[in-house]
Amino acid sequence: MKYRSVFDIIGPVMIGPSSSHTAGAARIGRVARQLFGKAPKTVTIRLYGSFAKTYKGHGTDVALIGGLLDFDTFDERIVQAVRLAEETGMAVEFIEEDEHTDHPNTVRLHLKDNEDELDIVGVSVGGGKIEITELNGFEISLSGSHPALLVVHQDRYGAVATVASILAEHEVNISHMEVSRKLKGQVALMVIETDQEVSQAIATDCLARPNMLNVAVLA
């Protein structure tokens, strides 16, 4: 089941005008920001399908930038996001792509600063709900129907066990888990879907442990 909670249907509380093109876009931007772990210096945003055709009218650009500034869907500062990004020195470029994607509301974000880069693909599936389909070249199958924890970490022994034990302490059950890496000992990615909601406290706790680089929560 794609939609799991009644609050996926009656909700979210958000700044208008579009749940898929504004709230969903803000959520994708925020996941990108959280995984990057800090404010990026430059962001290149490639829009596909309906996103590419109507982003200006729906405030998709404004909402994505709002998310990149770490604003939630109901944060009224979203309306001023373009100005606020300029003030904080975040340069954002939008590119309209013609390429056909599986879902009409798809966006690829490339975040950069002097040290780090992050590449992420998000899909806004409707009603403010989002899915993340790609992260730094890793194809990830996040159904979007369960709460999820994304952890970017150094590929070292004990990393998976650390995160799993933190979840256990908080009585959160893992329903699906994937671990992927490009090269042994380099950066790896844990994608963990859970039965219960993952609190920000869990994310903070994970991030404080050794070898953890970035953590983001998907509700």
Partner 1 sequence: MFRTVAELIDITKSKNIPISEVMILKEIEETGKSREEIFAQMGKNLEVMEAAVLRGIKEDVKSHSGLTGGDAVLLQKYIESGKSLSGTTLLDAVSKAVATNEVNAAMGTICATPTAGSAGVVPGTLFGLKEKLNPTKEQMVRFLFTSGAFGYVVANNASISGAAGGCQAEVGSATGMAAAAIVELAGGTPDQSAHAMAIALKNMLGLVCDPVAGLVEVPCVKRNAIGASTAVVAADMSLAGITSRIPCDEVIDAMYEIGQRMPSAFKETAEGGLAATPTARALEAKIFGAALAKERS
Q: Which residues form the interface with partner 1 (CB under 8 A)?
A: 1-23, 49-50, 53-59, 74, 76, 78-79, 103-105, 125-128, 195-197
* Size (the chain), residues: 219
The CB-of-128 to partner 1 minimum distance in angstroms stands at 6
**Could you tell me which residues are beta bridge partners of residue 135?**
120, 138
Shorter beta-carbon distance to partner 1: residue 80 or 180: 80
Residue among 18 and 162 whose Cβ is closer to partner 1? 18
Using CB atoms within 10 A of its CB, is residue 48 exposed (0-12), middle (13-18) or buried (19+)? buried
For 63, phi then psi, to 5°, come to: -70, -40
Q: How far apart are CA 163 and CA 25, in angstroms?
A: 28
For 84-119, letters b (16+ CB in 10 Å) and e give bbeeeebebebeeeeeebeebbbbbbbbbeeeeebb
Minimum distance, C-beta of residue 24 to partner 1, in the bound complex (Å)? 9
CA distance 18 to 24: 8
**CB closer to partner 1 out of 88 and 199:** 199
CB closer to partner 1 out of 6 and 183: 6
We find the least distance from the C-beta atom of residue 187 to partner 1, in angstroms, to be 32
- The distance of closest approach from Cβ of residue 147 to partner 1 in the complex, given in angstroms and rounded to an integer, is 9
Q: How far is the CB of 135 from partner 1 (least distance, A)?
A: 23
Nearer residue to partner 1 within complex by CB, 10 or 183: 10
Residue whose CB is less far from partner 1, 40 or 144: 144
129-135, strands of its sheet edge to edge = 91-96, 42-48, 105-112, 117-126, 129-135, 138-139
Q: How far is the CB of 118 from partner 1 (least distance, A)?
A: 26
- Least Cα distance to 20 among 132, 124, 145 occurs for 124
